[in-house]
Amino acid sequence: MQEINCPSCGAPAAFRSSAAVMVVCEYCHSTLLKDADTVKDIGKMSAVLEDYTPLQIHTAGQWGGQGFTLVGRIQLRYDAGLWNEWYVLFDDGSDGWLADASGQYMLTRRVTPAQSAAQLDGEALPRFGQLTPGTPLYFDKHRYLASDVRSARCTGGQGELPFAVGAGWTAQVADFRDEGRFLTLDYADGDPPAIYTGQAVTLGQLKCQLLREAEQIAGTADRYRGKAVPLACPDCGGPIAYRAGVASFVVCPSCHSQIDCTTSTALVLEKQRELDALKTSLSPGDTGTIDGKPYTVLGLMQCTDHDEEEASTWVEYLLFNEQRGLMWLVEQDSGWDRVEVLDTWPRMVSGTTASYQGQTFQQGYDYGSEVLYAAGTFNWRVRVGDRTRLTEFGKPARRLTRETSGTEIVWTLSTTVARAQVAQWFKGSPGLAEAARAPQAAASGTDLAFCRKSAKVYAILLAILNVPVALITDRGWITIVVGFLLLWAPIWLVQRWAGKD
């Protein structure tokens, strides 16, 4: 370890890693660059935004049979959010990175050029511009798929780092996954990219110690994990309560303006078109008890699939618990789903078959989703009009869904939940209690949809069988008209009756 004094303020600083070339003074935020036997002050580094992460400089843990310590951190921002990259120093002097994004963690270590050449087996790495979500990459006898392709810029840093990071420093990064395995191509220095390999992890697996306590989080820039913070919409002045450090992008419930809370002051990003208030079973701020833990509804989105014959709409609720993090509940006409974002991806056995936890899932529906309405707070920026491709695998009771956008792929696991169970979780929700008292209404809506589709099929068969007769005799036309009335009149009467209810 090389100990120095900051040339700007005189405070002590240290280079614990032999690979580190830069350290940020924790007192005055000067960026100190190690050059041979001298240390130069190359200017101030922006302070990181204190978010909900329990990690901090000096957090220690174990991985692969040896200990490690977090000695540095950079914060990277892309157009819809931000994440942390923690610089890891292992006890044997080697280093690595621990990515921290909305409670998901990936630990990686750099692959040397000699190792990468052997494991690529002579294949050239793709250029960044050639990559899209789903692009395959064969490395070390594994087939990886691109899960995230983004350009990001560094907005802050602390501690020591293995490279110089200045104002406006940008990185082009592509992440790849193969079940629990993780691979990153870092194009920050151009082609060929640096390769990092590792896997998705949890803080429990890492046996982390010296994590931030709730009191520490509360004392850092008022960014307490999960604490409701009052905010006035800078566009209309309406009151907003958001969860600081957990969800940093807010959609004002009054005027539907987007507000970015990751800056020092909330800024309106984009004025959305006025939308009528959406009546939902749950609302931002509602609190329920799930598996014995309190969860708060942070935000909600109404989405549609734009089906040509009969479009479906549903509502997705983002929930948060301080210990367990984020989860989703999805409300559809047919019922509710509890949705978990998967750290470990399913394995594609074939183009239409996925395997997860020893179970095989066959491909089902494949459709597009578009956001119609959003309100509340989110851990990424949500826009009306955002589109995602959804591919479902398995039966409705327990199914996998691959969500593909222009920049990333996310896998989720959905499990059906009874309406009565959701009402039990959120006993104080009037909208949900009303829905729970009339479970047959939703069921009848599903039955009507089935009847309408069946009637269409029978109407086509009726026409095919009777049009030849109608061309010969007038009685054929009478049969067709009477048949259509018998098919559609009951459905029309039930719809009219349901509308009055």
pLDDT tens profile 152-164 = 988 888 888 888 7
pLDDT interval class at 34 (50, 70, 90): low
Computed on alpha carbons and rounded to an integer, the radius of gyration of the chain in Å comes to 27
pLDDT tens profile 65-115 = 999 999 999 888 887 678 899 999 999 999 999 999 877 899 999 999 888
Mean pLDDT of 445-466: 65
Where in the chain are the domains?
2-201, 226-437, 441-500
Most confident of 159-168, 177-186, 241-250: 177-186
pTM of the model: 0.70
CA torsion sign, 104 to 109 to 110 to 116? negative
Mean pLDDT of 16-34: 62
Q: Which residue has the higher pLDDT, 469 or 212?
A: 212
Structure tokens at 275: 């939308």
Mean pLDDT of 288-292: 94
Q: DSSP for 90-121?
A: ETTS-EEEEEEETTEEEEEEEEPHHHHHHHHT
Question: What confidence score (pLDDT) does residue 41 get?
Answer: 46
- The three-point CA angle 20-25-29 to 5° equals 120
Considering only CA atoms, which of 297, 409, 292, 296 is closest in space to residue 348?
A: 409
pLDDT at 276 > cutoff 60: no
List the alpha helices (DSSP H) in 32-112: none
pLDDT at 267 > cutoff 50: no
C-alpha dihedral over 12, 18, 19, 22, to 10 degrees? 20
The pairing of strands 335-341 and 313-321 is unpaired
